[in-house]
Homo-oligomer: A and B are copies of this chain.
């Protein structure tokens, strides 16, 4: 046999990939993970609240095996922590941690934004523009969750356009850990205005391929959020016991 004829070229391999039938083997565990994570992020469980395994079994209708594996996953993500001799609780966040998270976000998001400003193609720019237009249309409603979703899509576009899936993954994970904080921040006076305004600055810088300006605007965007979060957190005194 002529090996050469059958050796898959890179192009053939790519084409074959589009043939793949994605048969998402939706396991109970994945569904439970999704549900529980969303519940925690949405604030259905408050920070520090105990997550009793058997109770969760009843609430989600699955067995402890599933619950425990899900808890391990969320624990590794940082959304759940296990108190010694007590079991899993919803992770608490104090300002020391939250501040670090904002710091990491600054480091990663400014990098992504600058990269995007250097290399973004037309499609990416159009996508960003669309997201911002939707945001403008919706920001009147002052709906924190809507704005949050649009903000997420904005940054997701920026990260993924540059092929920074891993960094985006990290940012997503960190954001879920400060989800409550983000919602509270967005509910603050003027944040529903200043946030989108900063994002437009970022977009403008990207559109005219100005990495420095994009970086500066991005840093300002996050630092403003961090400042608001700090005032909320220290005034609320949500310290880690």
Whether, in the assembled complex, A68 has its beta carbon less than 8 Å from a beta carbon of chain B, the answer is yes
Is residue A142 contacting chain B, with contact meaning CB distance below 8 A?
A: no
- CB-CB under 8 A from A103, the residues of chain B are 111, 164, 167
B-chain residues with CB within 8 Å of residue A164 when the two chains form the complex? 100, 103
In contact, A165 and B77 (Cβ under 8 angstroms): no
Interface residues of A in 85-105 (CB under 8 A from B): 85, 96-97, 100-101, 103-104
Is A73 on the interface with B (CB-CB < 8 A)? yes
CA–CA, A70 and B77, complex, Å: 14
Q: A25-B85, A84-B23, A170-B170 are in contact. Are A165 and B100 (CB under 8 A)?
A: yes
Q: A163 contacts which of B84, B96, B104, B167 (Cβ < 8 Å)?
A: B96
A65 at the interface (CB under 8 A from B): yes
**Chain B proximity mask over A51-91: 1 for CB below 8 Å, otherwise 0:** 00000000000000100111011011100000011000000
Min CB–CB distance A109 → chain B (angstroms):
9
Contact partner, A73, options B72, B97, B174, Cβ 8 Å:
B72
- Rounded to whole angstroms, the CA-CA distance of A76 and B79 in the bound complex is 12
* Cα(A23)–Cα(B110), bound, Å: 42
In the complex, A193 has a CB within 8 A of chain B: no
Asked if B104 and A166 sit within 8 Å, CB to CB, the answer is yes
A31 close to B (CB within 8 Å):
no
| Least Cβ–Cβ distance between A128 and chain B, in angstroms | 21
Q: What are 17 A-B contacts defined by CB distance under 8 Å?
A: A65-B65, A72-B76, A73-B76, A76-B76, A76-B77, A96-B163, A100-B163, A100-B164, A100-B167, A103-B111, A104-B166, A104-B167, A107-B107, A107-B108, A107-B111, A108-B108, A166-B174
